[in-house]
Structure 1
């Protein structure tokens, strides 16, 4: 199990509000669009987002940066197994391109969310969390990292490429009713050398 030192810690349910903000920043509004589709009878879509993020926090899936006043940046990720996820006819169209790319990143540690409040950007928090992600991947005996970014998210792409991630595939973005300038999703992969190889 990874050991975290301040200002890094595992998220708790109390972080749910900040985590919903952060995942929506990372997803460029796609999470909110999804929550709006799930909202029933005047339910607040953000309430759905907070509940979902609170559940992930309870399961220990999220790491945050906290300088003492709550989460200001977060990392969520998971290992992708050795078998592709089947994409049947009933697979939601919005997520089909993303799953197609994930299926090209088998046996990698997937950076699902890496986000920071705008006022905390430029302080190296993203880099620090990416370093931690690689540490987790190595602990899980994975030899590569993966992430999917929007083609118009130049800032995120610069960060990952600076860390050695390289583009391996792109697919057109399915928008349905989501208002976005994203035209393609881009899969970036980084090979991890074993510590002994350095």
Structure 2
């Protein structure tokens, strides 16, 4: 595991509320829509989101930026293996294009969530977390990075392209009841050269 220097640290279960907020920011409301669908009668969808983030914390998938008052930015990611995930006929329509794009990014380290509270943007935290993601990928002997962004998320796309990511594929967003503005999902990838590290 990569050694983390403050203000970076591995997320803890105490970060669950902030992580749910950050995931929903990054996903432009799509995560909350999904949590609403998963919530049982009378259950707060945010509780679903926090529980899902706690699971990822337990799996060690999340790093946060914390200046002493709690998480203000986060990175969630994982390696994609060498075999595509099967997509059955009953696979949820909303997720189908996302999984199809992920299946085009085999043998890469996938940036699942990169998020920052709005008041902390513009401080280089996104670039710093992306650099960490590349360190993790190299540590796991992966030579490619991948991320899927919404076509209308201009700020995120600019960050990735500045960091060397290039568009590889795009698929139409299937809203399936979600009231977002996204028209297309875009897969961006970056090759990691040995000279980078």
TM-score bracket, shorter-length normalisation: over 0.9
What is the aligned length?
197
Task: Map 1:139-178 to 2 at 5 A.
Answer: 139-178=139-178
| Ranges in structure 1 where 5+ consecutive residues have no aligned partner | none
Report what 1:22 is aligned to. Answer: 22
Displacement of 1:59 in angstroms is: 2.0
- Runs of 4+, deviation exceeding 4 Å: none
Report what 2:134 is aligned to. Answer: 134
| Ranges in structure 2 where 5+ consecutive residues have no aligned partner | none
Report what 1:61 is aligned to. Answer: 61
Q: Secondary structure at the match of 1:23?
A: helix
Report what 2:117 is aligned to. Answer: 117
Separation of aligned partners in 1, 2:56 and 2:81 = 19
Superposition CA RMSD, Å = 0.9
Report what 1:185 is aligned to. Answer: 185
Separation of aligned partners in 2, 1:107 and 1:194 = 16
Deviations 1:101-152 (A, max 9, x none): 0010000000000000000000000000000000000000111100000000
Separation of aligned partners in 2, 1:180 and 1:141 = 36
Q: Secondary structure at the match of 1:65?
A: strand
Separation of aligned partners in 2, 1:59 and 1:100 = 24
In the alignment, does 2:38 pair up with 1:38? yes
Task: Map 1:99-114 to 2 at 5 A.
Answer: 99-114=99-114
Q: Secondary structure at the match of 1:149?
A: strand
